[in-house]
Amino acid sequence: MHCAEFQELYSEYRDGRLHDLPLLREVERHLGECPRCARQDLAVRRGVELLRSMPGLEPTPAFRRQLHRRLELVRAGDGVFAPGGLVASLLVAAAVALVLVEGVTRSREGRHIAPAPRVVANPGPPFVGFAQAVQPEPAVADTLQEVDPALIPAVAP
């Protein structure tokens, strides 16, 4: 077995999940022969042992008091008066009020006949421009006569 294979199987081996007996023997043999993998295994075992021997954090006395207070608030506010429920109720009430106000305002506006838009004629004089009348350009047909006939490709009779 190579080190890479051992690395792949290491966690299952450590957690006793390697049920394939020949494979388990191979892993154990490799562990006995390879100092590098044996060192890794030892490091994990000793490191975890140290971690487990540490006392760990204890909740502070304030933790239980605060939790108790928060739970009391939750119990007292269950239902409509729960913080979430109250906010949701207020939002729904505000939305209903807006719809009602809008409806009343529109119904009042609807009683007046809105004036129809009127077309307003331009009261000023019509625009005539400042320039003289434009002379027409010479016709394109005249220019054809000025073209050198030698340049016109001959058409076979």
Partner 1 sequence: MTIGTQVGGQHKLATVRAPLPADDSSLVAAYLGGETAAFGELVERYQKRLLNFVYRSIGDRERAQDLVQEVFIRVHRHLHRFDQTKKFSTWIYTIASNLAKNELRNRSRSPLVLFQAIKRNPEPHDRPLQFEDPNQRPDDLYRRRHLKELVEWTVAQLPPHHREAFVLRELDGKSYEEIAEITGCNLGTVKSRLNRARNRFAQLIAPHLD
**128 is written with which tokens?**
């005539």
Residue 55 or 129 with smaller CB distance to partner 1 = 55
**Helix 3-14, helix 35-53: angle, nearest 10:** 30
Q: How far is the CB of 97 from partner 1 (least distance, A)?
A: 30
Residue 43 or 94 with smaller CB distance to partner 1 = 43
Touching partner 1, residues 6-35 (CB under 8 A): 7-8, 10-12, 14-15, 17
Q: How many residues touch partner 1 (CB under 8 A)?
A: 35
Cα separation, 127 vs 151, whole angstroms: 49
| Cβ count within 10 A of residue 41 | 16
Cα separation, 70 vs 78, whole angstroms: 12
Measure the N-to-C terminal CA separation of the chain; round to a whole number of Å. 97
Kindly write out the interface string for residues 34-73 of this chain, putting x where it contacts partner 1 by CB under 8 A and - elsewhere: -----xxxxxx-xxx-xxxxxxxxxxx--xx-xx--xx--
Verify binding: residue 88, partner 1, rule CB under 8 A: no
Verify binding: residue 2, partner 1, rule CB under 8 A: no
Q: How far is the CB of 1 from partner 1 (least distance, A)?
A: 16
